[in-house]
Amino acid sequence: MKLIRFGKKGKEKPGVEINGNRYDCSKYFTDWNHDFFQYGGLKKLKKVVKENKSTLPKVAKAKRLGSPIARPGMIMCIGLNYSDHAKESGMEVPTEPIVFMKAANTMGGPFDEVTIPKNSTKTDWEVELGIVLQKDVLYLKNEKEAEKAIAGYCVINDISEREFQLEKGGQWVKGKSCPGFTAVGPYLVPKAEISDVLNLKMKLRVNGKTKQNGNSKTMIFKPAYVVWYLSQFMKLEAGDLISTGTPPGVGLGFSPPQYLKDGDVVQLSIQGLGQQQQLFKTYSK
């Protein structure tokens, strides 16, 4: 069972996908949001599906998929979390997680068109493993507690504008928070349905050409550690999204660098978590 949200942007309804079929769960749940995760929603959802699957309305495959979770309180990100990506970026491998934030209003669906920002010449791609939390946490004692706080995993395209991020001074958030810069989905896969989150193939192509071909096993800081670490500094809430870094092959790392332009199509996937595709279009009023 995978969690989905479907419908027009801003009016998505909660649903599930089971064996390739999609079902509408809006009769039983408001959304896949903070309250759903915080108050045992995943357990309740399993019961609802088991008891009512035959009567749940089916969702047409043509329906737009939004992000599989409602807008979170925070999108937290871990930078340079793959040693080979740090190398291609010309930066040292971090000894502690590099933490930054993205605006929560950047979140979009897995197949939504993405606008290249005004005055941008260095819009870049990043396939990333996303973590969604199922409880509010603060000052977790260890990684075992952190693991219990994880609801599941998803695919993220952590889109970045490198000039805004690296050449404008200050922190990275300017290059990470442009509209549509966090493509999420197509699903949220509950963690119990993933046999080994530390061995998932990660791929990204631009116009059919492979750019990233990595694996989650080369992460420096693993998901449970990341959740534990972040909880030492801030309160994380149910439904929050954590983006855990990208393997090598981003546009910035090529010589010369390669960046997205009008009409480019990006396809990305993570093993067991589904795939995305975005068309990039130049900004216009």
Q: Tens digit of pLDDT for each residue in 231-242?
A: 999 999 999 999
**Three-state DSSP class for residue 279:** strand
Q: Where in the chain is the domain with CATH 3.90.850.10?
A: 75-282
**φ, ψ at 86 (rounded to 5°):** -60, -40
Q: What are the tens digits of pLDDT across the range 193-216?
A: 999 999 999 999 999 999 999 999
The class (CATH top level) of 75-282 is alpha beta
Q: What single string gives the DSSP state of each residue in 182-242? A: EEE-S-BEEGGG-S-TTS-EEEEEETTEEEEEEEGGGBSS-HHHHHHHHHTTS-B-TT-EE
Give me the DSSP letters along 117-179: PTT-S-EE--EEEEEEESS-BSS--SHHHHHHTEEEEEEEEE-EEHHHHHSSSS-GGGGT-ST
Phi, psi of 231, rounded to the nearest 5 degrees: -70, -15
Which of 134, 119, 122 is CA-nearest to residue 36? Answer: 134
pLDDT number for residue 90: 73
Q: What share of the chain is helix, strand, coil (3-state, %, to 5)?
A: 20, 35, 45
Cβ(163)–Cβ(121) under 8 Å?
Answer: yes
Residue 216, φ and ψ in degrees, nearest 5: -65, -15
Dmax over Cα atoms in the chain, in whole Å? 56
Neighbours of 128 (CB within 10 A): 27
pTM for this entry = 0.96
Model confidence at 86: pLDDT above 90: no
Q: Which helix (H) or strand (E) holds 86?
A: helix 83-88
pLDDT of amino acid 94: 87
